[in-house]
Amino acid sequence: MEEELKAAAAKIFDLLGVKVSGLEVEVTNDEAVVNVKIPEEDSGLLIGYHGDTLTSIQYILGQIVNQGKENWTRVAVNLNDYRQSRELQLKQMAQNAADRAIATGDEIEMPFLTPAERRLIHLELSSRQDITTYSEGEDRNRRLIVVPKSKVPTSLPITTDSAAPSANNGQPSP
């Protein structure tokens, strides 16, 4: 699978006209990570708005390497360490929103986030005892809400974010 994924990634970047200076593939039991190094001037184009283009490339590679296979292997593409820097940015954004919610006593609605980004923020804030988080809305209108514990609504919407902790930060529901 490693060579097949490397060849497919190289072909996609070649078709996009992007010169790749480094392409590594790491495969574990259930995940394949493609680490790509490209010139900085091309990275914004390939990452896209909030990683949308990168997610699309990831999807295409996943379809290619998993075609006809019974067990699905998740494919993650990391371009110039974008994933790590985005994760740090999201964690900081989450803590800032939580601090703002506590300082103002208001609910803070996070801007558009992908399901994976919402999950990361739910997990990041799950250890805080002074706030709670939940998601509401559907599809592209789904938003993550950060609420001071003192202002938690009596009935929180049920979150369907994959593997997200409950709105009670992992505590049993009343």
Query: What pLDDT digit, counting tens, does each position of 24-73 carry?
Result: 888 777 766 777 776 667 678 788 887 888 888 888 988 988 888 888 88
What is the per-residue pLDDT for 155?
55
Residues of the chain with CATH 3.30.1370.50: 86-151
The model's pTM: 0.68
Q: Tell me, what DSSP letter sits at residue 171?
A: S
Q: Which residues of the chain have pLDDT under 50?
A: 158-160, 162-174
Do 9 and 36 meet the contact criterion of CB atoms below 8 Å apart? yes
Q: CATH homologous superfamily for 2-80?
A: K homology (KH) domain (3.30.300.20)
Q: Please, is 37 exposed, middle or buried when counting C-beta atoms within 10 Å of its C-beta (0-12, 13-18, 19+)?
A: middle
What is the per-residue pLDDT for 157?
54
CATH of domain 86-151: 3.30.1370.50
What is the per-residue pLDDT for 156?
53
